[in-house]
Amino acid sequence: MNRNDEPGPLRVVIAEDAAIMRDGLTQTLTRRGHQVVAAVADGDSLLRAVAQLQPNVAIIDVRMPPTHRDEGLQAAHAIKRDHPGVGVLVFSQYIETRSATELLAGARGGVGYLLKDRVADVGDFIEAISQVAHGGTVLDPEVVKQLLTASRRADALSSLTPREREVLSLIAQGRSNTAIAETLVISPGVVEKHVASIFAKLGLLPSDSDNRRVIAAMKYLQS
Amino acid sequence: MRRQSEPNGSRRAGPYAVLMHDAWAWLRRHPWETDVALAGAILLLSLGQTTADPLIGVVSLALAATVLARRKYPVEAFAVAVAVAATQVVYGLSPGGGYLIGAWQPTVADIVLAVLLYTVAANTAPRTSVACLAVCIALSAIAIERWGPANSRHPLDSILAAAALLGSVSLTAWVVGESIAYRHRAASYASLEARAAQLEAERDAQARIAAAAERARELEVRRARAVDQSAARLRRIERDLHDGAQVRLAALAMTLGEIKENLESAADLAGDGGRTQRLISAAHRNAKETLAELRDLARGIHPPVLDHGIGPALDSLAETSAVPVGLALDVKHRPSPAIEAIAYFCAAELLANVAKHAGASKAEISVTSDRDRFGMTVSDDGLGRARLSPEGGLEGLLERVQTVDGQLTIDSPAGGPTRITVSLPGHA
């Protein structure tokens, strides 16, 4: 992980209707030197706060008042449409693959979709926020797992080695080559070789941008 | 015939009784032939008197003819015969002896009066037959009064004897007829009573059926309410979990995660050989596992995706299925939440079965939903042989479907394809 390389504190807006989670996130972020400029409990307040404060990133719970359905998701789409520069990290109690892939495909980076459980691994979660704030793309491992399970490309995928499947999964989660090398404890050079092999086997065009790489992998698995 | 139906055969009839029984039975079966024979016999008996005047034959013929009409028009036939007989009494007999007008002298054919009185007594109300009896006795008395004295030296004795004779003939005919009528009436009362009892039984049965139907309707309404309430309660439980336990646990896990990271960066300062760190790590891991379990539990109670309707929910199922799933939705009317939940769990279980057992390369879900009916068919091109078995997944689905009077039909021949159809009411 390259969290130490990230420059400066982030300006964050939190939208979460559960006070305990809202406060917990605020404290955690503040302790790490980030600035929580607004913490709100519903979609409308979120849109107003984002428009006024132009934060680096908004952390958004999917289910919020008044209907407790997908207010957060709607708000996330609206923010990416009206303020493409603001990073959006949606976190949800449940995985909805379709919601996740729609959100990612509709944006050019600066977007993430994580299961709420991920807050437990504080470091990784903060890293994900930072990644999204800086234009990166983050997809929950659970979503990637479902995409791989349900993929219609079972034949092509079966031509990958187990290691290559691991790497593909990490690519789809939005990890950079450096991050993948750290996670799998291998050298960046080996990762690059794996990536090249995967893209060749699946017939994907190599891409320098991690974002485009995620979208390509996601779309491939979905098609 | 009757004796055969009496199990003990307590009355054993001799050959004579059998003969009589058969004869009467024949007569009852052939009323027309009987009456023609009777009229013919009466006419024949009276023919001896026609030597005096051939016109007597004509009057006798008229009297005999009334017998033919007796069954259909008993009272009218009796009236005609009485009219003829009265004419005979008035014009046929001379108070001084002999005949006033020869053709109208009384004949043997007058016996038809007895036959007709019997018929009237047997077939009409007692009041009518008593009146007819009175007419007969009165007529007999007049006849004897006019005719008797001419032929006797002791007029009063003869008149009394003749009156007794003629009157007893009428009375006998009437009594026999009345007894027949009584038997008919008794039989008809018995059948009326039986019919009344039957009607009462039918009415009771209908009342019981109506009460049962009413009860069934009431139970249906109650069940529908219970099913809806239970669906709403499950949804509430899921939301309570989401807003309560799940959030608190996530916050707890986050805090543990923070403590763990702090300890890691200050590992050397802990001074207890990393014991605290290990404990915190275990607590952190437990919290995360509990979160995952709680999430699965909540999703099993009420899949949140159902809040968007059965279409998006099935769409989401199809997307995460390991076997490619085609989806054909025709939802004209959204069913009640309880029905949607049943349909969703059925689809989830059936798709899981397809992935696990069918060896299929693709599956298809088609849904048609209107106001009254929700129908869903899940088919696959696998190996078939899907069966209901106790403890099996399909059995569980069948139970779920039957809670709302739905149906589950399995068409899965060996070698495939498999088609499983779930039919549910639009509302529980």
Tell me which of A139, A166, A185 is where a domain ends. A139
B324 — contact with chain A (CB < 8 Å)?
Answer: yes
Do A23 and A118 lie in a common domain?
yes
B70 — contact with chain A (CB < 8 Å)?
Answer: no
Helix then strand then coil, % of chain A, to nearest 5: 55, 15, 30
- Inspect the interface and report whether the beta carbons of A117 and B305 lie closer than 8 Å: no
Do A122 and A202 lie in a common domain?
no
Q: Considering chain A, what is the average pLDDT of its residues?
A: 88
Alpha carbon distance A20, A12 (integer Å): 17
Q: pTM for this structure?
A: 0.66
3-state secondary structure of A33: coil
The phi and psi torsions of A211 (rounded to 5 degrees) equal -60, -50
Q: Which residue of B has its CA nearest to A222?
A: B319
For residue B285, the chain A residues in CB contact (below 8 A) are none
ω into B54 cis (within 30 of 0): no
d(CA B258, nearest CA chain A) in Å? 6
Tell me which of A71, A106, A139 is where a domain ends. A139
Strand locations in chain A (E): 11-15, 35-40, 57-61, 87-92, 111-115, 137-139
Do A152 and A73 lie in a common domain?
no
Do A148 and A135 lie in a common domain?
no
A203: left (phi over 0), alpha (psi -120 to 50) or beta: left
Q: Which residue of B has its CA nearest to A117?
A: B250
Do A180 and A131 lie in a common domain?
no
Q: Which residue of B has its CA nearest to A143?
A: B320
Q: What is the pLDDT of residue B239?
A: 86
Domain ranges of chain B: 2-199, 244-301, 306-425
pLDDT digits (tens, 9 = 90+) for A27-78: 999 999 999 999 999 999 999 999 999 999 999 999 998 888 889 999 999 9
Do A22 and A122 lie in a common domain?
yes
Cα–Cα distances in Å, from A130 out to A15, A57, B10, B133, B138? 17, 8, 112, 126, 133
Tell me which of A98, A122, A139 is where a domain ends. A139
Do A162 and A109 lie in a common domain?
no
Yes or no: say if A11 and A55 are a contact pair by the CB < 8 Å rule.
yes
The range of the structural domain enclosing residue A208 comes to 144-222
Do A72 and A132 lie in a common domain?
yes
Do A99 and A13 lie in a common domain?
yes
Yes or no: say if B316 and B354 are a contact pair by the CB < 8 Å rule.
no
- Number of folded domains that form chain A: 2
For residue A68, the chain B residues in CB contact (below 8 A) are 239
pLDDT digits (tens, 9 = 90+) for A119-141: 999 989 999 999 999 999 999 99
Pairing between strand B407-411 and A137-139? unpaired
B287 — contact with chain A (CB < 8 Å)?
Answer: yes
pLDDT digits (tens, 9 = 90+) for B171-222: 888 888 888 888 888 999 999 999 999 999 999 999 999 999 999 999 999 9
Fold of B306-425: Heat Shock Protein 90 (3.30.565)
CA dihedral A71, A76, A79, A81 (to 10 degrees): -110
d(CA A63, nearest CA chain B) in Å? 9
B319 — contact with chain A (CB < 8 Å)?
Answer: yes
For residue A121, the chain B residues in CB contact (below 8 A) are 257, 288
Nearest by CB: B242 against A28, A93, A98: A93
Q: Which residue of A has its CA nearest to B319?
A: A150
- Inspect the interface and report whether the beta carbons of B284 and A120 lie closer than 8 Å: yes
Residues of A with CB under 8 A from a CB of B: 17-18, 20-21, 24-25, 28, 31, 63, 68-70, 93-94, 96-98, 116-117, 119-123, 125, 146, 149-150, 152
Q: Is the reported ipTM for this assembly greater than 0.90?
A: no
Which residues, given as ranges, of chain B have pLDDT below 70? Answer: 1-13, 52, 94-100, 102, 147-159, 267-273
Q: Which residue of B has its CA nearest to A146?
A: B320
A61: domain CATH number is 3.40.50.2300
